[in-house]
Amino acid sequence: MATTRDIRRRIRVVGNIQKITSAMEMVAAARLKRAQNRVAAARPYAEKMAEVMGNLSRAAGDLQHPLLEVREPRRMAAVVVTADRGLCGSYNTNVMRRAAELLRAHADLERVVLPVGRKGPGAFRRQGYMVGATFPLPTRDVSLADARGITAEVRRLFESGEVDVVYLVYTRFYSALRLQPTVQQLLPLQTPDAADAGAARASDEYLFEPEPERLLASLLPRYLDVQVFQALLESVASEHGARMAAMRSASDNAGEMIDRLTLSFNRARQAAITREIAEIVGGADALKG
């Protein structure tokens, strides 16, 4: 049975851990607020661009562009957005499980994984998948330049014919308690239909300058950048939300453990006091005898 000294030491250790997890929860909550604001600010732009692309695609008709080329798929690439750090619950596990499901569904193709974040490369190598270029994910200041670094490599692979289809696997953010691993086809680009993009007017109500074909061709690469950038923002917010929830759960568990240890400490102390009283009474009786 543990002594009161051992129990007191365990209470102190668990209390120190609780302080750390509580501090990490507060940091994650502050970063989550900023990440949520960035997601909320970027979504209208992404939605409006999808609407414009839908109207342009209807006006341009059949457009020939390297990013729209549909080929018989023989090789595929999967861009998988994970976290740079752990201590975020099942966030990394869920997104990598969704990526593994996608890769298994295309087992007849040559597959390469392009991990974003430090947690992905090692995990996919251990599973036996080919890992291509890797990219960092700065969770504090993710920028459009980070997305362009990814899209440049993706475009190089696709336009050179090294891969025929590219998927993006990331975690879509709804709330700190609702995070959805999502698969999206990046290439060949699928320009959204105006109805799907929420356009309320027909494309012939717009006047395009220059002509729709040239405008659409110049916007396609930027549309690809926006898709990846939006996915990075969603993933960063999801990571902070998952870490905040995980640290809150850890703090609560530490508090419950401290309560149990305190109860054990009080019982052990009461048992020690009772034993000492019994020894004193026994000694007194022996002296009287």
- At 205-217, the pLDDT tens digits run 666 677 767 777 7
List the chain domain ranges: 4-25+246-283, 26-242
The average pLDDT across 37-46 equals 89
Q: In what order do the strands lie in the sheet with 130-131?
A: 130-131, 110-116, 75-81, 165-175, 178-187
- The confidence score (pLDDT) of residue 61 equals 62
The more confident residue out of 176 and 29 is 29
- What's the fold here for domain 4-25+246-283? Helix Hairpins (1.10.287)
Tokens, residue 261: 């240890």
Determine whether domain 26-242 maps to CATH 3.40.1380.10: yes
Give the mean pLDDT of 188-200: 57
Among residues 14, 80, 88, 254, the one annotated as catalytic is 88
Q: Is 89 helix (H, G, I), strand (E, B) or coil?
A: coil
In the three-class reduction of DSSP (H, G, I as helix; E, B as strand; rest coil), residue 193 is classed as coil
**88 catalytic per annotation:** yes
What is the pLDDT at residue 109? Answer: 92
State the Cα–Cα distance between residues 217 and 224, nearest whole angstrom.
Answer: 12
Mean pLDDT of 82-97: 91
Q: What is the per-residue pLDDT for 115?
A: 95
Query: Looking at residue 99, what is its pLDDT?
Result: 95
